[in-house]
Structure 1
Amino acid sequence: MGEIASSWWMLLVRGLAAIVFGFLALIWPGITLIVLVAFFAAYFLVSGVFALLSGFRHGARSRAWLIISGIVGILAGIVAFAWPGITSIALLYVVAFWAIVSGVAEVVAGIQLRKDIDNEWMLIVGGILSVIFGVLLLIWPGAGLLSLVWLVGAFAILYGISEIALALRVKNFTSSPRVP
């Protein structure tokens, strides 16, 4: 299980990217939709690439879910960059479905990693936060993405904190077997 410990920094980068994005969203709530699209696209791409890289580095147990999460993130980033004039409601649905799919993938990966690491709940918490965020966006689509900047920022910060906590836990993972 040394491969999990060797990729701790990827989780750390994902967490730091989420926190930076969250603070930028909170600091500039009047941000234009085009800049918000660029922030989301960049975050989607960074998160997707690192999830994909993690998927290729991990064992078979969590590989498929991390790869799926990475592919979805990369595709969401490409769509956001390709059509920067996208309406706020269309972006809201892209963000909502990305959050739900990647959140479910992280919950499943966390459950599957229960046999390999302690405190896998940090990955599960990040996934649950992602699903809740996506569902909230679907419940209130009429408000538009711009009016949800505070929710987006808060989610990104909380998600980033859970990813960093997981990264630090995984970094300290040893290859000694767990005692039941």
Structure 2
Amino acid sequence: MRGLAAVAFGILAIIWPGLTLITLTWLWGAYALSDGVIAIWAALNASGGDAGPRWWLGLSGIASILAGVVAFWYTGMTTVVLLMFIAAWAIVIGATQIWGAIALRSVLQNEWLLILNGILSIAFGVILMVQPGAGALAVVWMIAWFAIFFGCLYIALAFRLRQYKRG
């Protein structure tokens, strides 16, 4: 579900590249909130002890919810502040994903997808921090393609994890 939410966000950003900063902020805030709720739900509903440690997933969800709330609360923030905020969020999410993949190494066979997702997220955050003055359209497209790729990796991971479904 997290992957589908990310892909949907990316497609909407591509379809409407002329989004205003306020609309982009609200759209990203809604994505961050939904990502956080789904991550916390997944952390709380994993089956038994064989699911491995899940605190990192809950922490990731809390970070996403806080990021979404801040995005709605400070809607009028400037583009640079929004970019720094999104960049910091991407780095935190990426670090928790890498940590989670390492923690789940004994449970998962394909933890490299989660590690790749974490590395992509951190790289995206660093790029945004280094190049904050990029044009608004370029930023929208970069965020959109990041969300689509990020979502596709989550979807691929979900298919890999189907072998562990409750049953």
TM-score, normalised to structure 2, is 0.91
2-side partners of 1:96 and 1:51: how far apart?
A: 19
Indicate how the Cα distance of structure 1 residues 144 and 87 shifts in structure 2: closer, same or farther if over 3 A, else same. farther
Corresponding residue for residue 121 of structure 1 = 112
Residue among 22, 35, 41 paired with 1:34 = 22
Q: Work out the CA distance in 2 between the residues paired with 1:57 and 1:120.
A: 20
Any conservation in 2 of the 1:48–1:69 contact (CA below 8 Å)?
A: yes
Residues in 2 aligned to 1:51 and 1:95: alpha-carbon distance in whole angstroms: 18
State the match for 1:6 in structure 2: none
Matched with 2:12 is 24
Letter matched to residue 86 of structure 1: M
Are positions 1:89 and 2:75 aligned together?
no
| 2:2 equivalent in structure 1 | 14
Which residue number in structure 2 is paired with residue 77 of structure 1? 68
Deviation at 1:77, TM superposition (A): 0.2
Number of residue equivalences: 163
Corresponding position: 1:47 with 2:35: yes
Root mean square deviation of aligned Cα: 1.7
Amino acid of the structure 2 residue aligned with 1:84? T
Instruction: Give the letter for the 1:24 counterpart.
Output: L
1:160 maps to amino acid: G
Percent of aligned pairs with the same amino acid: 49
- Mapped pair 1:154 → 2:142: no
> AA paired with 2:20?
T
